Amino acid sequence: NAGVTQTPKFQVLKTGQSMTLQCAQDMNHNSMYWYRQDPGMGLRLIYYSASEGTTDKGEVPNGYNVSRLNKREFSLRLESAAPSQTSVYFCASSDGGGGGPTDTQYFGPGTRLTVL
Amino acid sequence: GQSLEQPSEVTAVEGAIVQINCTYQTSGFYGLSWYQQHDGGAPTFLSYNALDGLEETGRFSSFLSRSDSYGYLLLQELQMKDSASYFCAVHILTGGGNKLTFGTGTQLKVEL
């Protein structure tokens, strides 16, 4: 099992460009998440999908959109990139069974995004 | 909203014991987890507490007091490879599902 995979690993964009970060998991998990991590800020939730067909905003959703394409895949789109979106983006998944250890989140390796 | 507080940095020597504290304020709380992250890597799960008390997993233990909104991670027999950032995270029940809110992390430096 590959676990959670993310593409690309690195990306440089110019201000105003758009791009989609891809995430896939092969653990048959119900829930998927997108975080960003900035120095000294910990992990902040951008969007999450509790189950296939649903998405909800997290703490910092502005400037992003998401698509839960199917149970395996959850993509994050930046429509018009800004320098403030320079960050490391992590995708995660969990069984989301309603509480307890089943909510352990498994993280992908991250995408390092720089917006110039 | 939610808030979590943990120390930004802790330094200890190899072989020692270190405790990383976490206090939280949140609604919808149902558990506290700890994650480890090495530089440049992805966070990985260490421990989970839903009830008051101590959970032990090898050299790592985690404690929760729900009445005090407080928890800690205890690392024993420290090794150089334990140098990493450690995040506490509260599990929150929402109408849209379950989610985690992470603290800002504690950087642990293990010295010889």
* pLDDT tens-digit readout, B30-79: 899 999 999 989 999 999 999 999 999 899 999 999 999 999 999 999 99
Q: Chain B contacts of A94, Cβ < 8 Å?
A: 98
The per-residue pLDDT for range A83-92, each reduced to its tens digit, is 999 999 999 9
B87: phi then psi, degrees, rounded to nearest 5: -115, 130
Q: Per the structure block, which two tokens stand in for B73?
A: 């991670």
Smallest Cβ distance to B100: which of A98, A99, A105? A105
Subunit contact A56:B97, Cβ cutoff 8 A = yes
A36/A43 Cα distance (integer angstroms): 6
- Which chain A residue's Cα is nearest to B43? A107
Q: Please, which pLDDT band fits residue B96 given cuts at 50, 70 and 90? A: low
A105: phi then psi, degrees, rounded to nearest 5: -100, 140
Q: Per the structure block, which two tokens stand in for A34?
A: 């997108």
Decide: A116 and A14 in contact? Cβ < 8 Å.
yes
A4/A73 Cα distance (integer angstroms): 10
Q: Chain A contacts of B92, Cβ < 8 Å?
A: none
Q: Per the structure block, which two tokens stand in for B111?
A: 């010295």
End-to-end Cα separation, chain A, in angstroms: 36
- Which chain B residue's Cα is nearest to A109? B42
